[in-house]
Amino acid sequence: MLEAIKEEVWKQNLELPKHGLVKFTWGNVSAMDRESGYFVIKPSGVSYEDLKPSDMVVVDLDNNIIEGELNPSSDTPTHAILYKQFPELGGIVHTHSTWATAWAESGVDVMPMGTTHADTFYGSVPCTRYLTQEEIDSGYEHETGNVIAETFRERELGILDVPAILLHGHGPFTWGKDAKSAVYNAVVLEEICKMNLLARQINSYATELPQRVLDKHYLRKHGKDAYYGQK
Amino acid sequence: MLEAIKEEVWKQNLELPKHGLVKFTWGNVSAMDRESGYFVIKPSGVSYEDLKPSDMVVVDLDNNIIEGELNPSSDTPTHAILYKQFPELGGIVHTHSTWATAWAESGVDVMPMGTTHADTFYGSVPCTRYLTQEEIDSGYEHETGNVIAETFRERELGILDVPAILLHGHGPFTWGKDAKSAVYNAVVLEEICKMNLLARQINSYATELPQRVLDKHYLRKHGKDAYYGQK
Amino acid sequence: MLEAIKEEVWKQNLELPKHGLVKFTWGNVSAMDRESGYFVIKPSGVSYEDLKPSDMVVVDLDNNIIEGELNPSSDTPTHAILYKQFPELGGIVHTHSTWATAWAESGVDVMPMGTTHADTFYGSVPCTRYLTQEEIDSGYEHETGNVIAETFRERELGILDVPAILLHGHGPFTWGKDAKSAVYNAVVLEEICKMNLLARQINSYATELPQRVLDKHYLRKHGKDAYYGQK
Amino acid sequence: MLEAIKEEVWKQNLELPKHGLVKFTWGNVSAMDRESGYFVIKPSGVSYEDLKPSDMVVVDLDNNIIEGELNPSSDTPTHAILYKQFPELGGIVHTHSTWATAWAESGVDVMPMGTTHADTFYGSVPCTRYLTQEEIDSGYEHETGNVIAETFRERELGILDVPAILLHGHGPFTWGKDAKSAVYNAVVLEEICKMNLLARQINSYATELPQRVLDKHYLRKHGKDAYYGQK
C-alpha cells in the first residue's frame, strides 16, 4: 500500500545525507497521506546505504504500525502529533544537522538577518523550551510534538509561514506541504543558521532584516502575488 | 540567436555550484552582447541539473524578453540597470554564497586584509544601504540596481577596479568584462570574506593591508605593467 | 592468525579518512581478541591507500609483536594499557580529527550541550592533564595510557559510559565493545566538539543539557530499556 | 632536461588542489637540483587541469629561464633566493590556503598548541614584517625571499626545524628536503592554523604546549632517535 509515497519518502530520506544534513542514521523524513489517514516514515536506526523503498513503515496517527517489517523511527510519535494538530502538513523532517543543532543547543531563536531567511521563513525560527520531567516520563517523543504545537500556538505563528522549529538541546524539525519541501526547508534552515552566526561574528551590532525587506522577499516567493520561478 | 553567448552563460552558471557558491537555484549569471544591445540570463527557479543552453533567456535593457520559453531570473532588472549604467560590463553574477552573504547581512564593507583581496579588488568591497519602502514599492529589483550604481558613484569607485558589491541584508553581486571573469570574482569574494573574518578572530587588532602592498599586488595583475601569467 | 580481525581492523582504519577524521597517517584503529590475549593494530606511518589486511600487526598486551612484517603504530603501548586495564574494551581509535584535537589543545572537558552528545556519551568527555617529564622519560605512550586510566578512576566514570577522552595538547582516543563502535564514537566526538563550540559562540550563556534529558536520551539507546533501532 | 624532476614537480603541484590548498592558479611548487644548480617550477597563471610535466620551467638561481616555453611563476625570485641562501632546501611551496593565509593576514606567529604542530614544526611558525616601499620598488618577489631569510636569521631558527613561514598580509611558504615534504608541510600548516584558532575560541586562556611535550613529539619523528614509521 501507498507505494508511491514509500518511494518518495525513501527518495527524500536519501536527500538528507546528499545535502550533508545527517551522519549515520541521525535523521528521518515522513510523508502524510490525508486520504487514508496514514503516514510513511523511515525505519529506526537503519543506515541510508541499506535503505530500500519497501523498508518504509506505514503508521497511523496513533502510532500503530499499519504495514512494515521494521520498527519505525523512534521519533514517530512526534511526527504523528504534528500531522494530527496541523492538517496543512504533508511532510516532516528531523535531523541533527550541525549548525541548526548548535542553534538548538544555544537555546535562542534564529532571527531573520537576510533575504536567504526571508525567502523561506516569514520571521524568526523559534526555539522551544526544554521538556519537563513529567513530560519526559509520560511519553517523550509524543510530548515533544506537543511542545512544538504549544510554541506555535503561544507565538501565534502560522505553521507553514515558519516551517521549522528548534527543540532546545536537541535539534531541528522542519516541514512543508510535502516531504520534498520539508527537506528543502531543512537545507535552508541549516544554511541560515550558519550565515546568522557568521554575520554577528563579523559585526556584533548587525541588525535584523527590516520588516519591509522581509515582507518583500517572502511575498515574492509565496502567496498569490508571487512572481519567482516558472508558472 | 546569440547561440555562443547562451552556451557560455549556461556553462558559467554551472560553475557556480561547482565552486560551492549556490544551493538549489540561488544564483544566476548573465552576459551582455553590446552589438545587439541584448543580454542572456538564466531562467528563474530552474535547477542547475536540468539547465540546458537553450533554456537561457535573451532580454533587452528594458527587461523585455526577446527570445526564450521561460521566465528570466527574477533579478533580471538588476542586471539590466547595471549593463545600462556601466558600459564596461560584459558579465554579472549574483549568488547567496555563505560567507559573502554573511558579510552582506553584517552590513559592513570588506576591507582589504591581504594580497588575495588586492590581487582582484583595488580597495574595500562596499556594502550598500537597505532599500527604502518607496524603492521596494516602485520596483525592487530595478531599484536594487540603482542602489548599486549610487554606491559606486558616491564612493567614486571604478566599476572594474572593485568588481563586486554586497547588498545589505541580501548578498553579493560581482561582475567583469565577461561572464567568466564575473564568476572568478564571485569565487574570490567568497574566499576573502572567509579569510577576513578569520584574520580578525585570530587577532582582533589586525590591520588592513598597507596601501603600498595593495598597489603592488593589484598592479602586478592589472593594467599595462602587469606581469602575472602568460602573454 | 586472527585473519577475520585483521580484515575488520583494516576496514575500520579505512573508515577514518572516509569520515574526514584523518590526514596522511594520523590515526589508528585496533581490535582486541580476548581469547588469545592479542590485539591487532595498524602499522606505523603507512598511508591508508597502501594499506592491506595482511599489513595489520598482531601484538600482545606487553607490546611484543606476535605476527607482522611492519612496525606497529607508535601508539601501540597506549592501546595495550587500555586493553589491560579495561576488560570491557574490544576496539580503540586514535585520531587527530580537527575539532576534537582543538578541544584537546584547549584543555577543557566537552560538556553535554545536546542530545547528539547524550545519545552516545553519558556526561562530559574528560580532558586529561599533561604528562610530567618523568612520565615522558619512562615511556611516553605507555604512560599516556596510564593517564587515561587515572582520569577515569579519579572521576569515577564507567569506561563504556563515556567511551572517549581528550589528551591535553594531543588529541582524542575513543573506544567501544569492538572496533566499529570505537570508530562510530570517534565520529560522534568530532561532531559534538564542533557543535559545542558553535552553540557557545551563538549564545555564550547557553546552558548544559538538563540531567533529565541526558538520562532520557542515553537510556533510550543504551541499557536494558533501550528502544532505538531494530531488535 | 631534468625530466624526472619536472615529472615530480608537476605531480606535487597537482597535490595542492587535491588537498584543498589552492583555488584557480593560486599556488606553486618547485624543486631544486643541486647538481646542475637549476630548479624546476610551475609556469605562471596556468590552471592545474591544463598542466603537463613538459610545461614546467627550468630556472637558474639568478632567475634566468634555462628551458621552457612558458613564463615561470611570478614568485620565482622568492624561490631562487631561498634555494641560494639555504642549501638544505630541495623543495618549496607557496599557496593562499584559507587558514594559513588568514593567520598571515592577522600578522601573528602560529604558536605550538598541540602535538599535531610539534610533530612537524619545532616551535612557533614565524610571521614576517611587511616589506617597505623601497623593497617593493627594488624587486618585490626577490625582497620577499630576503625578508624570509632575515626572519629566520634574526630569530636564530633552523630552516628545516621550522619549515614554514607566514608573509604578513600575503600567505604561507613551506619547504623541505624535497618537493613532497614541502607539500606535506603545507598541509600540516593549514591544519594547525585551523586547530589553533579553534582551541583559543574554545578556551581563550588555553596555554601553549609545554616544551617537554614539544620536544618529545618532534624528536620521536625527527633526528637520530626517531622511532615513528617504518625503517
The count of residues in chain A is 231
pLDDT in tens, D177-213: 999 999 999 999 999 999 999 999 999 999 999 999 9
- Cα–Cα distance between D11 and C133 in angstroms, integer? 43
Nearest CA in chain A to C201: A197
- Cα–Cα distance between B194 and B198 in angstroms, integer? 6
CB contact under 8 A, A169 and C202: no
pLDDT in tens, A5-49: 999 999 999 999 999 999 999 999 999 999 999 999 999 999 999
Helical residues (DSSP H) of chain B, grouped into ranges:
3-18, 76-85, 98-106, 115-118, 133-154, 179-202, 211-221
Cell numbers given for D149: 631569510
Half-sphere exposure of A65 (CA within 13 A, CB side): 14
Interface of C with D (CB under 8 A): 23-26, 43-46, 70-71, 74, 96, 98-99, 101-108, 130-131, 133, 136, 140, 169-171, 197, 201
What pLDDT does residue C82 have? 98
For all residues of chain A together, what is the average pLDDT?
Answer: 97
A135, A141 Cβ separation under 8 angstroms: no
- Cα–Cα distance between C100 and B198 in angstroms, integer? 19
Angle, vertex CA D10, rays to CA D9 and CA D14, nearest 5: 110
What is the pLDDT tens value at each position of chain C, 231 positions in all? 899 999 999 999 999 999 999 999 999 999 999 999 999 999 999 999 999 999 999 999 999 999 999 999 999 999 999 999 999 999 999 999 999 999 999 999 999 999 999 999 999 999 999 999 999 999 999 999 999 999 999 999 999 999 999 999 999 999 999 999 999 999 999 999 999 999 999 999 999 999 999 999 999 999 888 998 886
State the pLDDT confidence band at A90, using cuts at 50, 70 and 90: very high
Q: Which residues contact B178 (CB under 8 A, 6 or more apart)?
A: B8, B31, B90, B91
Radius of gyration, alpha carbons of chain B: 17
What pLDDT does residue B1 have? 83
- Helices A3-18 and A179-202: crossing angle in degrees, nearest 10, is 20
Q: Is the dihedral of CA D198, D99, D14, D226 positive or negative?
A: negative
What pLDDT does residue A92 have? 98
Q: Where are the domains of chain B?
A: 3-221
Secondary structure letter of residue C83 according to DSSP? H
User: Of the candidates B43, B169, B197, which has its C-beta nearest A202's C-beta?
Assistant: B197
Interface of A with B (CB under 8 A): 113-116, 184, 187, 191, 194-196, 198-203, 206-207, 209-210, 212-213, 216, 220, 227-231
What pLDDT does residue D1 have? 83
Q: Is the dihedral of CA B129, B131, B134, B140 positive or negative?
A: positive
Residue C119 catalytic? yes
Secondary structure letter of residue D123 according to DSSP? S
Q: Which of C27, C25, C34 is nearest to C5 (CA)?
A: C34
pLDDT in tens, A184-202: 999 999 999 999 999 999 9
B167, B173 Cβ separation under 8 angstroms: yes
Q: Which residues contact D47 (CB under 8 A, 6 or more apart)?
A: D24, D25
Q: Which of D164, D162, D133, D128 is nearest to D146 (CA)?
A: D128
pLDDT in tens, B12-68: 999 999 999 999 999 999 999 999 999 999 999 999 999 999 999 999 999 999 999
Q: Which residues of B touch A219 (CB under 8 A)?
A: none
Q: Which amino acid would we find at residue C131?
A: L
Does pLDDT of B231 surpass 80?
no
What pLDDT does residue B228 have? 86
Nearest CA to CA, how far is D15 from chain B (Å)? 18
Which of C97, C99, C116 best tests the A interface by mutation, with the highest count of A CBs <10 A?
C116
Q: Which residues of A touch C199 (CB under 8 A)?
A: 102-103, 105-106
Nearest CA to CA, how far is A10 from chain C (Å)? 17
What pLDDT does residue C1 have? 83
A110, A117 Cβ separation under 8 angstroms: yes
Cα D36 from chain centre: 22
Phi, psi of D138 (to 5 degrees): -80, -5
Phi-psi region of B229 (alpha: psi -120 to 50; beta: other; left: phi over 0): left
CB contact under 8 A, C102 and D198: yes
Q: Which residues of D touch C131 (CB under 8 A)?
A: 212-213
What pLDDT does residue C39 have? 98
- What's the whole-number mean pLDDT along residues A125-143? 97
Secondary structure letter of residue D55 according to DSSP? G
- What's the whole-number mean pLDDT along residues A212-222? 96
- What's the whole-number mean pLDDT along residues A84-96? 98
Residue A225 catalytic? no
CB contact under 8 A, B206 and D107: yes
Nearest CA to CA, how far is C36 from chain A (Å)? 32
Helix (H, G, I), strand (E, B) or coil at A100: helix
What pLDDT does residue D48 have? 93
Which of B23, B106, B130 best tests the A interface by mutation, with the highest count of A CBs <10 A?
B106
A99, A187 Cβ separation under 8 angstroms: no
Give the containing element (helix H, strand E) for C164: strand C164-167
- What's the whole-number mean pLDDT along residues B216-230? 91
- Cα–Cα distance between D192 and D198 in angstroms, integer? 10
The arrangement of strands across the sheet holding B91-95 comes to B65-67, B57-60, B38-41, B27-33, B91-95, B171-176, B164-167
Which of these is catalytic: B137, B161, B215, B228?
Answer: B228
CB contact under 8 A, D203 and C104: no
Burial group, residue B50, by CB count within 10 angstroms (0-12, 13-18, 19+): exposed
Secondary structure letter of residue A231 according to DSSP? -
Into which CATH architecture does domain C3-221 fall?
A: 3-Layer(aba) Sandwich (3.40)
Does the ipTM surpass 0.90? yes
Extract the residue ranges of chain D whose pLDDT is less than 50. none
For all residues of chain B together, what is the average pLDDT?
Answer: 97
What pLDDT does residue D208 have? 98
